[in-house]
Amino acid sequence: MSTTNVCGVCGAQDSWRHSLLDCTLSKSIWALSKEEMVQHMAMNRNDNAKEWIFSMFESLPNDELVTLVVTLWAIWSARRKLIHEGIFQTPFATHGFISNYLSELQFLEKPEKEKKAPGPRSAEWIPPPENHMKINVDAAVARHGRFGTVAAICRDDSGEYQGASVIRFNNVDDPETLETLAIREALALADDLLFHDISVASDCKVVVEAIKKGTSAQYGAVIHEIIDSSRVFSSCLINHEFRTSNVEAHKLAKHALSLGFGRHVWLGHLGNLDFVPVNICDG
């Protein structure tokens, strides 16, 4: 049992988050994992370990969730060996163990593939209620921090593209704040398009719940702005959807990292957004 709150690997202030995510050893192992999963994981800044892992269970596809859990376990094991036994395991060796373990799990699960999984998560765009416009939103943070982006894509209830917008913020890289600003941008886009009945979807459950409760110390001013702005619409629904149904907005937010600072809008046309289909339901 450790008697100090100093990391036994790098000497920094220790915590569950530092040990498993932020320590030099941990970061070296995560760097070998799938980039999108690691970025999504890093954007969850919840300091409560239980709430953090529950959020990951709710937002990650099953294969990425399994990879996450196995990697956390392997990192913890590698740290224990180094701290208590003096045995250093390179990040590549740990990653190799993770890959082999996942391969064995996949092999064991093969006979079960024919069974119908209960309640699968949708991996497709989810239409809004009838006569509503659907606006999917997401946020992204630059790899080395310092700035972030928000994105919103609007479609009608048949999946037809209506418009999109992004904002690149300087010196804003807190994930939850950006996710909140993304929902605010959805309302601004709807206003630009003169729509009155909208359904906004975000894959950040924490922010959606904060808006519904009307409380948040960290980004409360933005939440109150969203609540006030929502009143100008005849119908304004704000809901959480899994990331697998929000792929398009995620791609647009990442694309916006390469754009100049400020707001960029595509109303009624796709412009240079060649990765966005005109109708998401076709094919």
pLDDT digits (tens, 9 = 90+) for 100-154: 888 888 777 665 544 444 455 556 889 999 899 999 999 998 877 689 999 999 9
Whether the per-residue pLDDT at 203 is higher than 70: the answer is: yes
Q: How many percent of the chain have pLDDT more than 70? A: 92
* Selection from 76, 175, 62 nearest residue 119 by Cα: 62
- Average of pLDDT values for 195-206? 92
Please tell me the total number of residues recorded for the chain in this structure.
Answer: 283
Q: Look up the pTM and report it.
A: 0.65
**Which residue's structure tokens are 């690691």?**
38
* Selection from 255, 263, 249 nearest residue 168 by Cα: 263
- Average of pLDDT values for 78-107? 85
Q: How many percent of the chain have pLDDT more than 90? A: 40
- Alpha helix locations (H) across 136-246? 175-192, 205-213, 220-230
The 10 Å Cβ neighbour count of residue 211 is 23
- Residue 272's Cβ-count burial label (10 Å; 0-12, 13-18, 19+) is exposed
Q: What is the model's pLDDT at position 115? A: 45
* Beta-ladder partners of 104: none
Strand 161-170 with 147-155, pairing: antiparallel
Each domain of the chain, given as residue ranges in start order, spans 16-112, 133-267
Q: What is the model's pLDDT at position 217? A: 61
Structure tokens at 191: 């206003």
Topology adopted by domain 133-267: Nucleotidyltransferase; domain 5 (3.30.420)
Using pLDDT thresholds of 50, 70 and 90, give the confidence band for residue 46: confident
Cα 124 off chain centre by: 16
How far, in Å, CA of 164 to CA of 16, rounded?
Answer: 39
Select, from the ranges 56-60, 179-183, 214-218, the one with the highest average predicted confidence (pLDDT): 179-183
